[in-house]
């Protein structure tokens, strides 16, 4: 396949040029709504490239770059097993790669993804896994949208940390599907917002980042300052 060959050659050149403290992160995307195809359409293709390149080539998992109903948490687990999970681009989707606020379409899926992250200890700094937001806010304001996304990820992580691993393992060993579901739901349905607000306050941060940003007037001020300026674009 010409596309595969050209992409692989470019990737090899880039990988060979890495410094000792660098790594190559390869994303993927199932489609674009235009008339062209994707050289790296899915996580498996990205993984194959990375396995061929070397140990410092890792996969970026974008939560919006999959077919409908894809089991993303399963992909997380598989990439962790191969030590090829390099980073996350967090967003959410309804129909295609909508780049919506993370967790807005399916918060329980975000919780399940964070559970696999915690299970692999990939949330710890020493794991080398990077966490990023890759979103496009067209209706809601951009900065509050980003703040809300951070809060959603933070809450999902906190709930994943609350899962009773011993009880879950016992239910799995016994083949108790409902028991295992109950363990997960106990953690998922726990309201962690107060605890996280206390944690922020203890670190000198606002208890309610959304309200604090709204009260700051920052958004209105920068909008007023930019009146008459040049709009940013891909060519800027």
Domain residues for 196?
162-217
Alpha-carbon distance of 14 to 61, in angstroms, equals 20
> Total structural domains in the chain?
2
* Residue closest to 107 by CA, chosen among 161, 74, 165, 148: 148
Percent of the chain topping pLDDT 70? 93
Of 58, 60, 29, 185, nearest in space to 115 by CA? 185
**Do 31 and 127 fall into the same domain?**
yes
**Three-class secondary structure of residue 77 per DSSP:** helix
Residue 114 CB contacts under 8 Å (≥ 6 apart), including other chains: 123, 153, 156, 157, 159, 160
Question: Is the confidence at residue 100, as pLDDT, over 80?
Answer: yes
Q: Give the chain's length.
A: 236
CB 110 within 8 A of CB 103: yes
More confident residue, 69 or 49: 49
Residue 154 placed within a domain:
no
- Give the H/E segment covering residue 59: strand 57-62
Does 166 lie in the same domain as 54? no
Question: Residue 47: its pLDDT value, please?
Answer: 96
User: Residue with structure tokens 């890792």?
Assistant: 58
Same domain membership, residue 167 and residue 57? no
CB-based contact 91:109 (threshold 8 Å): no
pLDDT at 69: 85
Lowest mean pLDDT among 1-15, 89-103, 145-159: 1-15
The answer to whether residue 212 is domain-embedded is yes
Contacts of 68-71 with C-beta under 8 Å, sequence gap 24+, read: none
Indicate the pLDDT class of residue 2, thresholds 50, 70 and 90: very low
User: With bands split at pLDDT 50, 70 and 90, how would you rate the model's confidence at 1?
Assistant: very low
- Looking at the fold, whether 16 and 66 belong to one and the same domain comes out as yes
Is 118 a residue whose pLDDT tops 60? yes
Phi, then psi, of 100 in degrees rounded to 5 = -90, 170
Question: Which CATH number characterizes residue 70's domain?
Answer: 3.20.20.150
Mean pLDDT of the chain: 90
């Amino acid at each position: 396949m010409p596309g595969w060959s050209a992409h692989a050659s470019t990737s090899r050149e880039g990988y060979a040029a890495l410094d000792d403290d660098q790594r190559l992160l390869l994303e993927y995307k199932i489609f674009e709504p235009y008339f062209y195809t994707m050289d790296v359409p899915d996580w498996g293709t990205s993984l194959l490239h990375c396995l061929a390149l070397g140990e410092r080539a890792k996969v970026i998992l974008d939560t919006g770059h999959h077919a409908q109903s894809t089991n993303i948490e399963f992909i997380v687990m598989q990439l962790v097993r191969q030590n090829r999970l390099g980073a996350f681009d967090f967003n959410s989707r309804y129909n295609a790669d909508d780049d919506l606020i993370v967790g807005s379409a399916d918060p329980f899926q975000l919780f399940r993804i964070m559970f696999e992250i915690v299970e692999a200890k990939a949330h710890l700094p020493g794991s080398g896994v990077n966490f990023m937001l890759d979103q496009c806010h067209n209706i809601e304001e951009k900065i509050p949208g980003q703040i809300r996304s951070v809060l959603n990820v933070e809450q999902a992580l906190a709930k994943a940390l609350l899962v009773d691993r011993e009880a879950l393992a016992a239910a799995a060993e016994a083949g108790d599907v409902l028991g295992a579901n109950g363990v997960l739901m106990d953690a998922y349905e726990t309201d962690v917002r107060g605890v996280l607000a206390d944690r922020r306050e203890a670190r000198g941060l606002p208890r309610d980042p959304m309200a604090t940003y709204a009260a700051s007037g920052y958004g209105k001020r920068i909008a007023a300052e930019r009146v008459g300026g040049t709009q940013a674009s891909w060519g800027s």
